[in-house]
Amino acid sequence: MATKIAWTDKTWNPVTGCTPISPGCQNCFAKQMTKRLQAMGSPKYAAGFDTVVCHPGTLEIPLRWKRPRRVFVNSMSDLFHEDVPDEFIDKLFAVMSFCPQHTFQVLTKRPERMAEYLHNRDWSEAANWVHNKFIRRLDGPLYLATEIVPPLPNVHLGTSVESQDYVSRIGDLLKCPGLRFVSFEPLLEPVDPKETWDPDRMYCRQCGHIAAKDEPYESDDGPDDPDESWPICPECGGTNLGGYASYSPIDVMLLADCPFPPIDWAIIGCESGSKRRPCELESVKGLVDQCDVAGVPTFVKQLDALRCRCGRVYFVGEPFRMCPECGMHECYLKPFVSTDPAEWPSWAWQDFPESKEPTR
């Protein structure tokens, strides 16, 4: 399905329906859109938003797309809702494994289930099912999968954080193998992700194991200096020797002056709609600055703004009493959501993550 979401090209919705779990769900776009589609008589949305429904007939859609594109998976639901069976998620990941030309963006407010699901997962059986049901009919590659395991290099895994109360979701996300991103939208208040971290613990980027520094572990020689001792993760046995940043003290892995979590991308934006809650410009800038220091690419999606009758644009939270261009008082400015980067401050970027070997 075509979309106006700036950070993706297409949406793919094998699941519909969801359940609100946090304040970010209050003015859910998917819920409003489901009501509209239901009223229009769309069979896919006949059950409404409160009922989670899996749609096996939509699984093959990305297999038909030849041109590479970014694909937002389940914009109308949450793939890791408790009512979505693991077996259905297996088939969905198997389809993504057969579409290396696309970049799939999986965003969830339930990263704890995503981490649990991905632990020691193997999609080989599901891939064989997808191959036999879809690939042959579409005259695709004639082979059977023997081993398909996380991480898939074309699947980006993300979670939503709307306020400080839900920063802990980032910790669950970091247990997931793959390229990881955080969507700070709708951003409802200033967020400081460094509270995700405890400087006295260690973290394995290979399997996600988190432990205190005093947990017993073995060591191995470093790749360049035999006298250098590198810790071995007691959970998966990984070290930095395999080419991945693995079991290391947090302050070493993130650099001492950079407390931001080791994510690969951040999306930041205000809420949309007539009932949107305010998002001050300084809240957005605070996150962009933290990402900039940490080397994390940011994509500012939209800003909460005010437009004067003379055309000048101001942003919520900026000190303002009267427009210097035309003398219009602040109470007469028209609120709107600015999606045009040409109207924004120079620090509001729209960057995408670089392609790289995913974190195991």
- pLDDT for 235 equals 67
CA distances from residue 93 to 35, 56, 354 in whole angstroms, order as listed: 28, 13, 22
Rounded average pLDDT over 130-141: 70
The sign one gets for the Cα dihedral 324, 325, 330, 336 is negative
Q: Kind of pairing, strands 201-203 and 334-338?
A: unpaired
Confidence at 294, pLDDT banded by 50, 70, 90: confident
Rounded average pLDDT over 266-271: 97
11-69 pLDDT per residue, tens: 999 999 999 999 999 999 999 999 999 999 999 999 999 999 999 999 999 999 999 99
- pLDDT for 25 equals 96
Which DSSP string do the residues of 194-222 spell out, in sequence order? GGG--TTEEE-TTT--EEETTS---EEE-
Q: How many Cβ atoms are within 10 Å of 42's Cβ, its own excluded?
A: 12
Helix (H, G, I), strand (E, B) or coil at 344: coil
Q: Do 194 and 251 form a contact (C-beta atoms < 8 A)?
A: no
What phi, psi does 66 have (nearest 5°)? -90, -40
Confidence at 247, pLDDT banded by 50, 70, 90: very low
DSSP state for residue 341 in the 8-state scheme: G
- pLDDT for 215 equals 61
Pairwise CA distance, residues 346 & 220, whole Å: 46
CA distances from residue 63 to 67, 101, 105, 211 in whole angstroms, order as listed: 11, 10, 16, 41
Helix (H, G, I), strand (E, B) or coil at 333: coil
Confidence at 303, pLDDT banded by 50, 70, 90: very high
Q: Do 62 and 134 form a contact (C-beta atoms < 8 A)?
A: no
CA 153 to chain centre: 15
Rounded average pLDDT over 338-357: 87
310-341 pLDDT per residue, tens: 888 989 988 776 777 787 776 678 899 999 99
What phi, psi does 108 have (nearest 5°)? -140, 150
Residue 186: asked if its preceding bond is cis (omega within 30°), the reply is yes
What phi, psi does 133 have (nearest 5°)? -85, -35
CA distances from residue 3 to 9, 10, 30, 45, 76 in whole angstroms, order as listed: 7, 6, 13, 18, 12
Confidence at 238, pLDDT banded by 50, 70, 90: low
Q: Do 182 and 170 form a contact (C-beta atoms < 8 A)?
A: yes
- pLDDT for 359 equals 46
- pLDDT for 198 equals 57
171-218 pLDDT per residue, tens: 889 888 889 999 999 999 999 987 766 555 566 655 556 665 566 556
Q: Do 182 and 266 form a contact (C-beta atoms < 8 A)?
A: yes
Q: Do 108 and 159 form a contact (C-beta atoms < 8 A)?
A: yes
Q: Above pLDDT 70, what percent of the chain?
A: 75
Pairwise CA distance, residues 218 & 238, whole Å: 11
Torsion of CA 92, 71, 35, 183, to 10 degrees: 100
Mean pLDDT, the chain, rounded, equals 83
Rounded average pLDDT over 277-292: 94
What phi, psi does 10 have (nearest 5°)? -140, 155
Domain ranges (residues) in the chain: 10-184, 198-253
Pairwise CA distance, residues 219 & 217, whole Å: 7
DSSP state for residue 325 in the 8-state scheme: T
Q: How many Cβ atoms are within 10 Å of 344's Cβ, its own excluded?
A: 20
